[in-house]
Amino acid sequence: MARLLGDQALARSAVVANRDMNRERGLAGYARELGVDVGALARPGLAWLDLCCGSGAALLECAAWVPGVRITGVDLVDFYAGPARDGVEFVTAPVGEWVPGRAFDLITCVHGLHYVGDKLGLLAKVASWLTEDGLFVANLDWRTVLTEQGRVTDALRAAGFDYDTRRHRIRLAGRREVRWPYRYLGADDQAGPNYTGQPGVNSHYGGR
């Protein structure tokens, strides 16, 4: 088995620290990558959480366009495109450790899951952070989630997630409690490039 890292060691990994998949992306890029027009969904009072938000350029763009939207961006590093403004807060923290104080109508993660260690653990948390009619959408390469039981796509779908294997997109509609039949073992930051062509992180799981 590959050398597996815990959360603290993974956060210091050069692969994670140097990630650039979402550093400067705007709202048009979110629609292209996720297949969801966030700008069209945005409305006053909407609570949007963007995990691994990068520079947060899309968040600032959305807030300028739709006054009254409530946006939270979380990223491991604080290289934001500008200071927080009315309707936008930036949180610098590992996404796997951060705990929100409210539910969200929309949760997105553009290419950020590629660098998360416990991907399934974060997906379970995200499912519990949605409002009853909320939407979660993200990029995910299922081949980087390695279990002793084989393909993880069946477990994702059994838990209520929709997974598009061709576009590498995962979606969930509505809040739910998710329990996986796996135990997180650690992450491999030397897994090499995933479907994006960028180096990513493999997540390893054993049985309960």
Domains in the chain (CATH in brackets) are: 7-207 (3.40.50.150)
pLDDT tens digits, one per residue of 154-164: 999 999 999 99
Question: Taking Cα atoms as reference points, which of 85, 206, 67, 201 lies closest to residue 144?
Answer: 201
pLDDT band at residue 85 using 50, 70 and 90 as cut-offs: confident
What's the confidence (pLDDT) of residue 7?
A: 85
- Checking if the pLDDT of 146 tops 70, the result is yes
pTM (2 d.p.): 0.94
For the chain, state the CA radius of gyration: 16
Query: What's the average model confidence in pLDDT over 18-37?
Result: 80
* pLDDT for residue 23: 63
